[in-house]
């Protein structure tokens, strides 16, 4: 099914889609159009916020906006109509008819009940197919045309005409594998040919899990449940209502990202047994390396900062201790070791804190890692981070030091095995070569899932990161 309906031959409606595979609601943040505006197929008409991210919604047909059903700031259930469009402007005196219940209409013939499940639409997924039987349409598209329409929606456009019935000529759809744009990007990032992937989604759709399964060196007997992506987005800043003068309290509704992150953090804290270890390390040599790299012509055009070296140090530590890069599969009672590292990086944005991840960070050279970090942070601060960029992380770095904090005990992202917190780098007295000298010092904290990582392994990873930051030449000798 699609997320649009016809109220008459003139007006078409667009429903709130599920833009995140399983979400039930979204908040309308901003309308980019108003009644009377002309819209074209693929034009973004609004921005919505879900438990995963802020997403722009394109309209899948041409016309003139007739009505916006909800104002900005309204939380709308998936499947509700959010906008009505006049697809034949000036083509009659009819007005948009409300959608009448199917039972109120005469039903000369009923279609056979459609298969249950969610079908892909222009953005994300539509709502589940209702069991209510609807009146048969007088004109339907041939199967080939319907398949082409579905493929068009997956590719970001539509082939549905405004109000002209499809011609009787049979259209042969492309043999291109069915997959949503984020899944296609994931496959591209992982170097996977979608034609070689076995689809498991409804209607032969290739899912993220299918791509990850194809990328795994050894096929797993069962796929690992995807970690709640809400955790990858971390904390969003709730908008407080204007305080009433003299009021001693202000109540803020828990919804959207805040609601999802609360559920995910509680689930993580009470599911994975957390252990946090700390180490204080002299990073004076690392800071000198950062200063030298800023002048290196090979690093021209990319941002060089302590986070770059810390990220590289963690990647080397994981390479030396690969068992730490794993996930717990509760359903199958298995530990799934990852042979790739999708490195999550916390990024402060005007909308709050999100944690996108760098895909296959372990394969990147230092200049490539610097460029990817810069692009990740810039995209996040512009509010353009996609849900796909925040899914599939394996380990995470959170830099609490930017706030002047020495350290913390970070909570794991569900589905991940470890998270490294980096404290503020401060000039402190330190014993160096037998003498007390002012040195640049920081504190690292590593939280890990004790089901996957025992004390010895966790200690080795943290010690390796600290050793690299203290003696950066180990990036060469250990790598």
pLDDT at residue 473 in the model: 94
Instruction: Report CA-CA distances (Å) from 308 to 241, 285, 305, 458.
Output: 39, 14, 6, 22
Between CA 357 and CA 395 the distance in angstroms is 9
d(CA 386, CA 229): 11
Q: How far apart are CA 408 and CA 394, in angstroms?
A: 20
In 3D space, the residue among 189, 188, 208, 190 whose CA is nearest the CA of residue 199 turns out to be 208
| pLDDT value of position 91 | 64
Would you tell me the crossing angle of helices 208-215 and 181-190 to the nearest 10 degrees?
Answer: 10
Q: Tell me what pLDDT residue 261 has.
A: 62
Q: Which helix (H) or strand (E) holds 36?
A: none
Residues identified as active-site: 450
Please, are residues 186 and 194 in contact by the beta-carbon 8 Å criterion?
A: no
Task: Provide the token pair at 24.
Answer: 């039930």
- Spatial CA neighbour of 412 closest among 446, 379, 383, 366: 446
**E strand map for 32-120:** 38-39, 44-49, 54-58, 63-68, 75-77, 81-86
The per-residue pLDDT for 330 is 83
- DSSP 8-state code for residue 403: G
Amino acid 262: pLDDT: 67
d(CA 324, CA 319): 9
Helix (H) / strand (E) element for 398: namely strand 395-399
Tell me the three state secondary structure of residue 418: strand
**Which pLDDT value is given to residue 140?**
45
Encode the chain (479 residues) as per-residue pLDDT tens digits: 445 554 456 889 999 887 765 677 888 989 999 999 999 988 999 988 876 677 888 998 899 999 999 999 888 888 999 999 998 887 654 444 444 444 444 444 444 444 444 444 445 544 444 444 444 444 444 444 444 444 444 444 433 433 444 444 444 444 567 877 677 767 776 778 888 888 888 778 888 778 777 776 544 344 434 343 334 344 444 455 566 778 888 787 776 656 666 666 676 765 777 889 999 999 999 999 999 999 999 899 899 999 999 999 999 999 999 999 999 888 888 999 999 999 999 877 766 677 889 999 999 999 999 999 999 988 888 878 887 888 889 999 999 998 899 999 988 877 889 999 999 999 999 999 999 999 999 999 999 998 899 999 999 999 999 999 999 999 999 97
Of the candidates 53, 29, 56, 31, which has an alpha carbon nearest to the alpha carbon of residue 42?
A: 56
Question: Which uninterrupted H or E stretch holds 210?
Answer: helix 208-215
Q: Which residues contact 387 (CB under 8 A, 6 or more apart)?
A: 19, 20, 52, 53, 55, 182, 229
pTM: predicted TM-score of the whole model, two decimal places: 0.57
């Amino acid at each position: 099914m699609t997320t649009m309906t016809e109220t008459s031959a003139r007006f078409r409606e667009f429903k709130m889609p599920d833009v995140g595979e399983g979400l039930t609601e979204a908040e309308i943040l901003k309308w980019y159009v108003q009644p009377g505006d002309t819209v074209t197929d693929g034009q973004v008409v609004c921005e919505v916020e879900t438990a995963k991210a802020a997403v722009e919604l394109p309209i899948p047909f041409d016309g003139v906006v007739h009505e916006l059903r909800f104002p900005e700031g309204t939380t709308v259930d998936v499947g509700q109509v959010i906008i009505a469009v006049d697809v034949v402007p000036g083509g009659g005196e009819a007005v948009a008819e409300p959608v009448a219940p199917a039972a109120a209409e005469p039903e000369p013939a009923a279609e056979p009940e459609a298969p249950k499940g969610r079908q892909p639409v222009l953005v994300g997924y539509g709502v589940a197919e209702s069991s209510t039987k609807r009146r048969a349409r007088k004109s339907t598209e041939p199967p080939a045309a319907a398949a082409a329409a579905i493929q068009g929606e997956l590719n970001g456009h539509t082939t549905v005409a405004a109000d002209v019935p499809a011609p009787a000529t049979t259209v042969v759809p492309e043999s291109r594998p069915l997959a949503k744009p984020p899944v296609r990007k994931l496959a591209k990032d992982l170097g996977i040919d979608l034609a070689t992937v076995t689809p498991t989604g409804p209607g032969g759709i290739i899912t993220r899990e299918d791509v990850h399964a194809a990328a795994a060196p050894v096929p797993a007997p069962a796929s690992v449940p995807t970690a709640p992506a809400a955790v990858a987005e971390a904390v969003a800043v709730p908008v407080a209502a204007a305080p009433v003068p003299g009021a001693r309290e202000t109540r803020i509704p828990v919804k959207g990202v805040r609601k999802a992150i609360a559920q995910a953090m509680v689930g993580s804290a009470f599911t994975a047994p957390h252990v946090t270890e700390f180490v204080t390390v002299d990073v004076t040599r690392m800071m000198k390396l950062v200063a030298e790299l800023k002048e290196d012509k090979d690093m021209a055009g990319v941002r060089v900062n302590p986070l770059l070296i810390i990220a590289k140090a963690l990647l080397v530590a994981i390479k030396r201790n690969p068992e730490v890069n794993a996930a717990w599969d509760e359903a199958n009672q298995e530990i799934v070791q990852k042979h790739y590292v999708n490195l999550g990086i916390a990024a402060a944005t005007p909308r709050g804190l999100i944690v996108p991840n760098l895909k296959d960070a372990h394969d990147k050279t230092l200049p490539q890692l610097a460029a990817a970090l810069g692009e990740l942070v810039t995209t996040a601060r512009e509010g353009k981070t996609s849900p796909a960029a925040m899914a599939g992380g394996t380990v995470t770095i959170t830099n609490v030091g930017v706030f002047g904090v020495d350290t913390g005990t970070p909570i794991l992202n569900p589905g991940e095995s470890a998270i490294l917190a980096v404290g503020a780098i401060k000039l402190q007295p330190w014993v160096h070569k037998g003498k007390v000298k002012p040195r640049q010092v920081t504190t690292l904290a590593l939280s890990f899932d004790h089901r996957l990582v025992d004390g010895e392994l966790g200690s080795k990873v943290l010690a390796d990161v600290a050793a690299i930051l203290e003696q950066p030449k180990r990036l060469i000798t250990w790598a």
